[in-house]
Structure 1
Amino acid sequence: MQKFLLFAKPLGFDMNQLGELVQKIKESFCLTLVHFYPLAGRLATLKKEESIDLAIYIACNKGSRARFIHASLDLAIDDILSPTYAPGNVRSFFDHRRSINYYGHTKSLLTIQVTELTDGIFIGCSMNHMATSTKADYGELLEQSLGWAVWLLHHAVINQTRVSHEQIESWLQSGELLRASDPPDAYSKLLGCSLRFNMYVTEFGLGKPVAVLNGSTNKFDGKLIVNPGAEEGGSMDFGICLLLHVMTSLVSDKELMRQSLSL
């Protein structure tokens, strides 16, 4: 999972203020890990004796694996938001490039990267999806214990249907490890993100973000991304991820684009 917030530097923003901002984000990061301490652990595999079964769990006694990165890049906000195609070096704003969940055995489960631009600040979050998947709502989790969240996941596993188990067995036999950026098939569409949390209200002392976007691992052909928008009154940010030739045909359809802009 890769998400980022892009902020414009306030007028007169200097190196001292940058240092204070980075320190504030570090402190916020540390406080988050107090509440969600498993994110500072790493994945571990337990093999049961005289059995082929394996159990993958989060080990919190293997040393801290959460990462905080501070970097800088000679790019401006317009270099990121204006081009039709995102610059390739934007991928360097995130940790865990081309990673899969299993890599959590050796890589961090959570990384925050703050990248200074010439006129902005880029705050990117990379998180292992295996460590955060749950059907509860970032409210119920605060009211309940960590064991309660684990119980929810266990309940979801034991309630899988026979067909689901057959699909899992077939996948295990194939030995194929999928990435989030691998499309399920050519005709599927997947709607992602959450309308429950408006990321535009996130405040680090820089004002409202100028953009809330996703990293490359959240994108593949057929992915639809919806977030609450920057404008009040129910606005939405709506992203469509399609193959190049399909997207070219889509934006070339003047009547479709005219109708879309009028919505």
Structure 2
Amino acid sequence: MMTSSIVQHVSECFIKPLHPIPDSNRICHLTTWDISMSSMNYIQKGLLFKKPNSQQDFIDNLLNKLKHSLSLALFHFYPLSGRLVTQKSQDPPSYSIFVDCSNGNPGARFIYATLDITVSDILTSIDVPPVVKSLFDLNKAINHDGHTLPLLSVQVTELVDGVFIGCSMNHYIGDGTSYWNFFNTWSEIFQAQGQGHDHENVPISRQPFHNRWFPEGYGPLINLPFKHYDEFVSRFEPPKLRERFFHFTSESIAELKAKANRECKTNKISSFQSLSAHVWRSITRARHLTNDRKTSCMVAVNNRPRMKPPLPEEYFGTSVDTVTAEATAGELLENDLGLVAWKIHVAVTKHDDLEIRKSVEKWLESPVILDLNRHFDPLSSVAMISSPRFNMYGNEFGMGKAVGVLSGYANKCDGNVTAYEGYEGGGSMDLEISLSSNVMTELELDENFMNAVSVNNMLGASRGHTLNEN
């Protein structure tokens, strides 16, 4: 069933903001953080829901409400309905990218598709089924492709007994915080429809902040020293990987945190830093690296609260950096968890306002476009991305609480670890780990790693009762 099932696209349209975008908002400029994402894939995240039983015209009503609430959400998050534009000159070389948010753009793509599998087929699989990638549009697209592709594409896929709502969002337009702020607002508008609010004006609790940040004396248009995008844009093709979810309860994470802090005689190491250290050590052990082999753990960090003054959490754009902890394989495996967690803690805490501003100034002097081909070693590195702090399971679209959060093709590499809010909340986490097949097998056989894992299949066992509801 799983191998033969193919996603069938049934219909496609474009959704524009319900109200016209004011002329004053017609141009959205891109910052150094945005532009550095030129060669990365779109952000691809989505929610899996159980389909309610015996509701006549359910899918037609759902699609209509999704489209209308999306058009309202796009009015608030108007850059998502735009297109990229480049201004360039040859002498001196100059290449500037911005977002045209004018009302003449077609808007965001909206796809309705079907797939002849069940929710259980997805959730009870050991590895993430390959068909999950087909639940998203714009696979393999990179952010610079937004000159000709939509900056947001929503795919709603109807399963036998469920619905998956997946979004592909251009990383020029926003990071994970921006993505989930948009998704949360879309859900809020959807739920407010039919609850006494004006059909065309639904109030939202958190207005996006659209004034993008530039250091004093720079912006709003950044000129890149290039003549053509071929000089800075590249594409990454990952090798064949196994992708699998591992579930960590709040109790398991608390034990790791207590252990790390006890070994370092401190109380400063966070839950996520402790878990990241555990994963970094375990993957390094599974790779059987020589003791002198250098390894690294890259952690994505949100710049908003680190700035002085801090940027609003509603800042809509990319405001994220990666910090790196380094050690030899011998250092990781011959020392305790606390030492490794402390390395990550130091790397994160050093990333303050001064460091952020220094890195931005350095980038402006010599722009660096992130490239997984050059900036990530798949043989010895681990990358911790996304955040369990994002509100994922609070999004509802008339089908109750989602039973799973899934990601698509985007930016997967050997050693990539995507963090999600745990289904039961309370500080639990799900980690989606991508590794070569032989390393994943070694990780699964590692008792030290698996002793902290509470679920040995993908997602379903931690929410088995949910699969039997309705």
The TM tier, using the shorter chain, reads 0.7 to 0.9
Aligned to 1:59: 100
3-state secondary structure, aligned to 1:123: strand
Match of 1:131 among 173, 178, 192: 173
Aligned to 2:396: 203
Pair 1:185-2:380 in alignment: no
CA RMSD of superposed structures (Å): 3.3
Sequence identity, in percent?
A: 40
Pair 1:21-2:65 in alignment: no
Q: Is 2:176–2:386's contact at 8 Å kept on the other side of the alignment?
A: no
Pair 1:79-2:272 in alignment: no
Aligned to 1:109: 151
Shift of 1:154: 5.1
CA spacing shift, 1:215–1:150, aligned 2, 3 Å: same
Query: What are the superposed Cα offsets for residues 104-128 of structure 1, whole Å, 9 maximum, x if unpaired?
Result: 0111100111000001001101001
Q: Is 1:182–1:220's contact at 8 Å kept on the other side of the alignment?
A: no
Query: What are the superposed Cα offsets for residues 80-130 of structure 1, whole Å, 9 maximum, x if unpaired?
Result: 222233333322211111111111011110011100000100110100101
Q: How far, CA to CA, are the matches of 2:62 and 2:408 in structure 1?
A: 23
3-state secondary structure, aligned to 1:260: coil
Query: What are the superposed Cα offsets for residues 20-60 of structure 1, whole Å, 9 maximum, x if unpaired?
Result: 11111111211111011111111111014743111011112
In our comparison, the structure showing a higher alpha carbon Rg is 2
CA spacing shift, 1:256–1:91, aligned 2, 3 Å: closer
- Opposite residue 104 of structure 1, the aligned amino acid is G
- Counting matched residue pairs gives 252
Aligned to 1:174: none
Unpaired stretches in structure 2, ≥5 consecutive residues: 1-42, 186-205, 221-318, 320-355, 456-470
Q: How far, CA to CA, are the matches of 1:109 and 1:20 in structure 2?
A: 26
Match of 1:118 among 160, 169, 176: 160
Q: How far, CA to CA, are the matches of 1:79 and 1:182 in structure 2?
A: 37
3-state secondary structure, aligned to 1:209: coil
Q: Which moved more, 1:63-72 or 1:149-158?
A: 149-158
3-state secondary structure, aligned to 2:110: strand
CA spacing shift, 1:20–1:52, aligned 2, 3 Å: same
Aligned to 1:247: 440
Q: How far, CA to CA, are the matches of 2:423 and 2:414 in structure 1?
A: 26
Q: How far, CA to CA, are the matches of 1:134 and 1:214 in structure 2?
A: 12
- Opposite residue 58 of structure 1, the aligned amino acid is V
Q: How far, CA to CA, are the matches of 1:233 and 1:122 in structure 2?
A: 24
Unpaired stretches in structure 1, ≥5 consecutive residues: 172-176
Aligned to 2:415: 222
Q: How far, CA to CA, are the matches of 1:129 and 1:251 in structure 2?
A: 33
CA spacing shift, 1:22–1:135, aligned 2, 3 Å: closer
Shift of 1:207: 0.6
- Give the TM-score of the pair, scaled to structure 1: 0.82
- Opposite residue 155 of structure 2, the aligned amino acid is Q
Aligned to 1:160: 359
